[in-house]
Amino acid sequence: MQELNSATFDSVVLQSSSPVLIDFWAPWCGPCKTMAPVLEAYANEHSEILVVKVNVDEAPDLAQRFNVLSIPTFMVMKGGGVVEQFAGAMTKEVLAERVARHV
């Protein structure tokens, strides 16, 4: 899964033809670590979605830009716009359902 920062975010996300699922995380966050294998499994099963990660430690400006106040926060973007944003750890099934609402 690609790790994005301020330099790469716009070119990758805004220009993606498929919907994008962004995982805002940090290495010191327990629930974020719990979500890592869940996200991996989800990405493997949904090649129609571009799944990317943003480490808020390394890209705090991105976190601020999207009003991220908690991690993990998941954001779904389509056509360059944010369509959904939700926070917390969850099962793969719940994650898939939240994303599917917009796809």
- The residues of the shown chain that bind another protein, judged by CB under 8 A, are 26, 28-34, 37, 56-57, 63, 67-73, 85-93
Minimum distance, C-beta of residue 2 to another protein, in the bound complex (Å): 23
Best CA proximity match to 88, nearest among 98, 101, 78, 102: 98
**Closest to another protein by CB, 12 or 31:** 31
Contact 89, 34 (CB under 8 A): yes
Q: How many Cβ atoms sit within 10 Å of the Cβ of residue 68?
A: 20
Task: Identify whether 47 is a catalytic site residue.
Answer: no
Residue tagged active-site, from 12, 26, 29, 89: 29
**Closest to another protein by CB, 2 or 70:** 70
Q: What order do you get walking across the sheet with 81-87 strand by strand?
A: 2-4, 50-55, 20-25, 73-78, 81-87
Residue 70 DSSP label: S
Task: Identify whether 29 is a catalytic site residue.
Answer: yes
**Closest to another protein by CB, 15 or 69:** 69
Q: Give catalytic residue positions.
A: 29, 32
